[in-house]
Amino acid sequence: MKRLMLLALVVAVVQCHEPFQVIFEWKQIDVQWPSEEERQLAITNGKYIAENNFLTTVKFWKDKMYLTMPRWKDGVPVTLGVTSATPVNGTTAPILEAFPSWAMQTLGDCSAFQLVHSIEIDPKGRMWVLDTGRPTTTREFKACPARLVILDLEDSGKILRIYEFPDHVARRSTTYLNDIVLDHEDGGMAYITDNSNNDPGIIVYSLKNNTSWKVRHDSMKAKSEAVSFMVAKTHVILPVHVDGIALSPASSMDRHVYYSPLSSFHLYSIPVSALKNNATNIDHYVKELGRKNSQTDGMVMSAKSVLYFGLLADDAISMWDMKNSSSFTIGQRVMSRDHLLTQWPDSFAFDEDGNLWCVVNMLQNFLSNHIKLDTPNYRLIRTRVGVKNYQYYENGTAPDLPDITAGADSVNFMFATLLFLVLVLVAK
């Protein structure tokens, strides 16, 4: 009898959310070109190769959604795009617009975005963009510095700040800025996963001081036991260091960052105080919370302390309600499993209406060069959870956020741009 009652409780917990629904679905990603002639020229010269464009991240602000297309292969013209957050005229495969402009997508131009994998939007509508600084393509392009660029969505994507990471924090030839969470205390902080092959770690950026540092630990490195796995009968061998990251909600007294390498079965946490203080020895701060059933790519925290994360080899999305169970081992639950619709749940996002979204991109097909453009490859699926993300309080209000002014890097960049324009005019 007790076993039946326990089973009923587990089922109730797992089914507490509505089933995920497919809202958007693409066979291929295309963008709004300046003209059809330019699109055809891009196809001819290899600047647009449909099967090389895939989605990794989605974030929402008001009636728009912003998506990233990292340049892992040739032929990706736009690395950050925007479209309506709801299907228009029944179109579930919308064409994306370059954001904030086509000029900001120029390869080889260090003032433009080179490879954007992840973004985050704060409660004031400021988009924090991670630019790795170089595409990971077969073509040779100038290696630009890895940057954090903050845009104002309330002002047409105006640049508020540009911060170039120093080489000892993010090496321009090897760094890969993967994911970001925002902490609005202590003048504003960002915690960023860098799964660089030779120097993985969590980068800490101080908005107030406009400076950064990297925290490194063995828990942030790929584990050999988790490098190889299967997704939809496709064998994936992928040694990836620290990847997914989440932050306990704004209402928490003792906030922690949660993280996991993609090539790992374990979830870890570290108090934000250790990251902010740049502790030289973080061994006694890092806590191994338990083992997952599979590898995980992205993860996200809700305002009610629920952690959502994918299980790649299980075609599943799982959750851990920390308020109901302080133990990750006991508290983790599979909330959705679909061997067709949730192949490679890559990343998560909340919208302003209390919906949880997941980017499902079937990345195993991209990695194995098996993209078929006559079948759906990329999906945005959604379920209602009735809460916002970790940046908000449970009642939906946001804490006071720091103002953002141009930092030293932004000032230097603007001065250099102005000087360049002056020289051009003088030359004429």
Name the superfamily (CATH) of residues 21-426: TolB, C-terminal domain (2.120.10.30)
| CA–CA dist 13, 332 (Å, integer) | 10
Q: Strand locations in 207-282, DSSP E?
A: 211-215, 228-231, 234-237, 242-247, 256-261, 266-271
pLDDT tens sequence across 357-390: 999 999 999 999 999 999 999 999 999 999 999 9
| CA–CA dist 371, 247 (Å, integer) | 34
At 79, list the tokens: 């690395």
pLDDT at 408: 58
- Its pTM stands at 0.92
DSSP assigned state of 58: E
pLDDT at 375: 96
Distances (CA, A) of 209 to 100, 205, 280, 406, 413: 26, 9, 20, 12, 18
| CA–CA dist 117, 135 (Å, integer) | 11
- Would you give the distance in Å from CA 379 to the centre of its chain? 16
| CA–CA dist 320, 257 (Å, integer) | 15
pLDDT at 415: 47
pLDDT-flagged residues of the chain (< 50): 1-13, 15, 413, 415-428
Contact assessment for residue 133 and residue 412, using Cβ atoms and an 8 Å cutoff:
no
Cβ neighbours around 70 below 10 Å, total: 23
| CA–CA dist 99, 305 (Å, integer) | 32
Q: What end-to-end distance do the CA atoms of the chain give, in Å?
A: 88
pLDDT at 364: 98
pLDDT at 12: 40
At 307, list the tokens: 């952690």
Phi-psi region of 188 (alpha: psi -120 to 50; beta: other; left: phi over 0): left
Q: What is the largest CA-CA distance in the chain?
A: 88
pLDDT at 406: 81
Contact assessment for residue 108 and residue 142, using Cβ atoms and an 8 Å cutoff:
yes
Distances (CA, A) of 145 to 109, 167, 414: 11, 8, 16
pLDDT at 18: 86
| CA–CA dist 419, 425 (Å, integer) | 10
Smallest Cα–Cα separation from 348: which of 62, 30, 118, 51? 118
Q: Are strands 345-350 and 355-360 parallel, antiparallel or unpaired?
A: antiparallel
| CA–CA dist 164, 147 (Å, integer) | 4
